[in-house]
Amino acid sequence: MIEFQHVWYEREGRVILSDLDFEVARGEFVYVLGQTGSGKSTLLRMMLFDQRPTQGVVFVGEYDSESIQERQIPYVRRRIGFVFQDYKLLRDRSVFENVAFALAVTGTKGSEVKRRTLALLSQVDLLHKRDEKPSSLSGGEQQRVAIARALINEPYVLLADEPTANLDRESTERVMEILSDVNAKGTSIMMATHDIGLVERHPLRTMTLEDGALMASQAAQLEKS
C-alpha cells in the first residue's frame, strides 16, 4: 500500500528526511511521532507527490515517485484524503458545501454528491449543522468537517497532520473515535502527532522521527481500546 525505499529529501542544502525505509500495509493505522521540525509533515506530503525524493522511491498503491506523471497526480490525490491541523475550510461556504466541494468538482452527479455528503455529515455527527458556516463551529466541529471532506472521495489512504493539536480532550477523543471507525472499514491511516498521551490512550503502531531520521518503529503493545 505505502512504501518508502531509502528515501532522502533535501531542501536548500538541508536534509529534511534521512534514509526512510518502511512499509504500511492496507488497513493499518500508524502514528508518526516527533517534535515540530522533525520531518513529519514532509513525510506525509511525500505521499501526495507534492515533493519528490532527492534519493529513493515512494510507493503509494500502484504509483511511485519515480514513474508517476504530472497528469496522474490529481487522480492519485482524489484517493488520498488529507486532514490539516488548521482545518483549511472555505470560510464563505456552508458545512455541506465544504464537504461536497471535492466531489462536486469531479463531475459526480448532484444526487450522488448529496447522498455521500449527508452520509458523512451523519457519520461525524454534524448533519444538524450542514447549513452553518465554519465560523459558527467549535474547533472540534471544524476538524470533524475537515475529516468528512477528506473522506468524500472514499480514499484508500487518509493522512492526518496533527489533527488534534488545537483540540481539547473531549474533542480529541471524538476525532479519534471517528478515525478508528474509518480505519476499521479498511482505510489506511497515517497520523502525525506529538501527543504522547493520545498515543498511550490509543496504542497503535508508531514510527518516531528525529531530525528527519526514523529513530524507532514498533507495533502497539496493547490491544486497541
- Residue 74 CB partners (closer than 8 Å, separation 6+): none
Question: Could you tell me the residue ranges of all domains in the chain?
Answer: 1-79+155-225, 91-153
Separation between Cα atoms, residue 105 and residue 101, nearest integer Å: 6
Separation between Cα atoms, residue 161 and residue 130, nearest integer Å: 24
Q: Whole-number mean pLDDT of the chain?
A: 93
Half-sphere exposure of 53 (CA within 13 A, CB side): 25
Separation between Cα atoms, residue 203 and residue 195, nearest integer Å: 12
- The alpha-helical segments, DSSP class H, found in 18-138 are 40-46, 73-78, 95-104, 110-123
Separation between Cα atoms, residue 222 and residue 225, nearest integer Å: 8
pTM of the predicted protein model: 0.91
Query: Looking at the domain covering 1-79+155-225, what would its CATH class be?
Result: alpha beta
Dihedral angle over CA of 47, 52, 54, 60, nearest 10: 40
Q: What are the φ and ψ backbone dihedral angles of 152, each rounded to 5 degrees?
A: -65, -30
Q: Would you state the pLDDT for residue 224?
A: 41
Q: Are strands 55-60 and 205-210 parallel, antiparallel or unpaired?
A: unpaired
Query: Could you tell me if 54 and 213 are in contact, meaning their C-beta atoms sit under 8 angstroms apart?
Result: no
Q: What are the φ and ψ backbone dihedral angles of 132, each rounded to 5 degrees?
A: -85, 160
Query: Could you tell me if 21 and 69 are in contact, meaning their C-beta atoms sit under 8 angstroms apart?
Result: no
- 129-187 residue pLDDT tens: 999 999 999 999 999 999 999 999 999 999 999 999 989 999 999 999 999 999 999 99
Q: Would you state the pLDDT for residue 143?
A: 95
- 3-28 residue pLDDT tens: 999 999 999 999 999 999 999 999 99
Q: Would you state the pLDDT for residue 218?
A: 79
Q: Residue 224's CB: how many other CB atoms inside 10 A?
A: 11
